[in-house]
């Protein structure tokens, strides 16, 4: 798997350039430059790459770097303990309503097999998760408390910041999918507009 990382932010900083200056010196749009600067681009055209290499006096390999990293996550808690909270919706004049799940909280032990630059590392850590759910059974917010030991283990592997961010993004996606699969058809049915918050788990 892995991913392509754009070093435009670093190369611009080394040359004293900002987004406006790059825009003025090329025919590239501010949106294109900003997307590459923030690593939000889905791809890059040859002409864009050519103009940036000419301006920055660099090679394509200086601008785009392949990060060989594959994180695989697994819940190793046999039977997760869950705390479910409910809210009353649809109250009429006679105070009749129905109860809907508003949040699900659980603690999980996580195993991560992390393959990075040809080496495999086995990591384990704990998380505390709270899925906040609206009356349509869609996830609205995911609050994730992560044991500090996980970030410490990544730090010991000397992963660059963008690789660490990628691992956390993949972990977020894993938790969303796990929650959807574990509670699917009962309390959670979708997650069209989801906000994810992280905090350090103090245990």
Residue from 161, 14, 30 nearest 22 by CA: 30
Partners of residue 120 on adjacent β-strands: 115
Burial class, 167, CB count within 10 angstroms (exposed 0-12 / middle 13-18 / buried 19+): buried
SS3 24: helix
SS3 193: coil
pLDDT at 135 over 90: no
Q: Decide: 42 and 79 in contact? Cβ < 8 Å.
A: no
Burial class, 123, CB count within 10 angstroms (exposed 0-12 / middle 13-18 / buried 19+): middle
> Helices H, strands E: what count in the chain?
7, 8
**Percent of the chain beyond pLDDT 90?**
68
Contacts of 52 (CB under 8 A, 6+ apart): 8, 22, 26, 28, 36, 58, 63
Q: Which of 97-106, 114-123, 163-172 has the lowest mean pLDDT?
A: 97-106
Tell me, what's the pLDDT at 91?
Answer: 46
Tell me, what's the pLDDT at 99?
Answer: 57
Q: Residue 27 has what DSSP assignment? A: S
CA distance 167 to 163: 6
pLDDT at 183 over 80: no
The whole model's pTM is what? 0.81
Q: Decide: 50 and 57 in contact? Cβ < 8 Å.
A: no
Burial class, 90, CB count within 10 angstroms (exposed 0-12 / middle 13-18 / buried 19+): exposed
143 pLDDT band, cuts 50/70/90, is: very high
Give per-residue pLDDT as tens, 7-46: 999 999 999 999 999 999 999 999 999 999 999 877 899 9
Residue from 17, 5, 18, 10 nearest 44 by CA: 5
């Amino acid at each position: 798997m892995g991913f392509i990382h754009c070093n435009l932010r670093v190369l611009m900083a080394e040359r004293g350039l900002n987004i406006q200056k790059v825009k003025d010196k090329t025919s590239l749009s501010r949106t294109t430059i900003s997307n590459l600067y923030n690593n939000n681009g889905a791809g890059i055209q040859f002409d864009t790459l050519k103009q940036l290499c000419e301006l920055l006096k660099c090679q394509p390999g200086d601008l785009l770097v392949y990060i060989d990293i594959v994180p695989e996550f697994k819940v190793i808690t046999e039977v997760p303990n869950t705390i479910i909270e409910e809210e009353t919706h649809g109250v009429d004049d006679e105070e009749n309503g129905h109860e809907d799940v508003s949040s699900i909280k659980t603690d999980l032990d996580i195993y991560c097999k992390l393959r990075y630059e040809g080496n495999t590392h086995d990591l384990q850590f704990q998380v505390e998760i709270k899925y906040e759910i609206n009356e349509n059974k869609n996830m609205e917010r995911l609050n994730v408390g992560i044991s500090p030991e996980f970030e410490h283990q990544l730090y010991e592997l000397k992963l660059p910041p963008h690789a660490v961010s990628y691992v956390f993004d993949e972990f977020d996606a894993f938790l969303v999918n796990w929650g959807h699969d574990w509670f699917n058809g009962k309390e959670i049915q979708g997650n069209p507009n989801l906000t994810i918050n992280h905090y350090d788990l103090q245990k």
